[in-house]
Structure 1
């Protein structure tokens, strides 16, 4: 019949497609944004919201300057946890704005 290639799993095919199209990074970025409440906890999540990721910078809107200062102190830990949650380094910096 001429067809000799072994079948690939759907997971493998989708993974290759995501890499080819450059979507893998975007999906990880979206996952990092979605993981925000779980990473920072309910109290912080009530007073902050991740807005977007641009060039590995996560922009987070905060309720006020008190929360901004608090989150600046937690920035390194938050960044590490977010990156770990998506198994990759999608965030290198976090910018807090109010």
Structure 2
């Protein structure tokens, strides 16, 4: 019977009769398995998870995402940031076709202001408003959106320029 080699001593594999590379690798792995020091555990005791784990120093680098997450949680900005997703995730929430014809222009106190590209789209959005509010609350958190305020395109104003008349009704006689 042979003794297991010292861990500090250089190990030489025993020559195999076949000269097969796979057999040689198995012999080397087996020699390492038998020569590795065994760690004994007491029966019924779990290993201490803090042992062997290097404690991070305050000077060690941390991922930026983790630091930003801690800052947001410490300042209490989670609800504000989740509500601002109305602007960034609008196309995903309402769909590409609807988002192509309308845009979010404001958000304050649970009210989302939406500008539609035409009066027809504004009417359609007013009819879909309860469904859109429900979907926004599902995506952003319950109670984050209370109401949609939908506006169509605005007409031209005639209150510009140097020669305007106060309380006038505009150039009605020029289009005729």
- What is the TM-score normalised by the length of structure 2? 0.45
Equivalence map 1:46-65=2 (5 Å):
46-65=100-119
Equivalence map 1:11-90=2 (5 Å):
14=69, 17-90=71-144
> Is 17-26 or 52-61 further displaced after alignment?
17-26
Q: Deviations over 1:49-89 (max 9, x none)?
A: 01121111000111011001000110011011111112332
Q: Which has the higher helix share?
A: 1
Asked if structure 2 preserves the Cα contact closer than 8 Å seen for 1:35 and 1:82, the reply is no
- 2-structure distance, mates of 1:19, 1:70: 39
**Across the two proteins, how many residue pairs are aligned to each other?**
91
- 2-structure distance, mates of 1:14, 1:46: 33
Asked if structure 2 preserves the Cα contact closer than 8 Å seen for 1:56 and 1:93, the reply is yes
- What is the TM-score normalised by the length of structure 1? 0.76
> What CA RMSD, in Å, does the superposition of the two structures yield over aligned residues?
2.5
Name structure 2 gaps, 5 residues minimum: 1-64, 153-176
Which is bigger in relative contact order (C-alpha 8 A, separation at least 6)?
Answer: 1
The structure with the larger Rg is: 2
